[in-house]
Amino acid sequence: MTKWSLSNVTPRASYLMACVLYFNHNKLEPEDGEGVISTAIVVLIMAFLAVGMWIAFKALMGQTTTTISSQVSQLGQ
């Protein structure tokens, strides 16, 4: 039976840790920057939606203002 000591465990643990870090690093490399790209796409989509909503709001309020003005002028007659 082998007696476990710090000098006996340390080289094995450091080797195992180096292997785990090496293999995990190689798997994660192709996905670098994915969060930044996804965030940029979402920001562009939200900007286009906001512009579309602003145009619809201005058209609706313009039409509403015209209708209200004509109704108020009819009340005064």
The per-residue pLDDT for 31 is 65
The per-residue pLDDT for 1 is 44
Using alpha carbons only, how large is the chain's radius of gyration in Å? 33
This prediction's pTM: 0.49
Q: Which token pair is 17? A: 């840790």
In this structure, the dihedral spanned by the alpha carbons of residues 15, 21, 24 and 28, taken in order and rounded to 10 degrees, is -160
Domain boundaries, given as residue ranges, for the chain: 6-75
| Cβ 75 vs Cβ 68: under 8 Å | no
- Using one digit for the tens of pLDDT, what is the confidence trace for 20-46? 666 655 555 566 667 888 899 999 999
| Cβ 7 vs Cβ 1: under 8 Å | no
Question: How far is it, in rounded angstroms, from Cα 9 to Cα 3?
Answer: 10
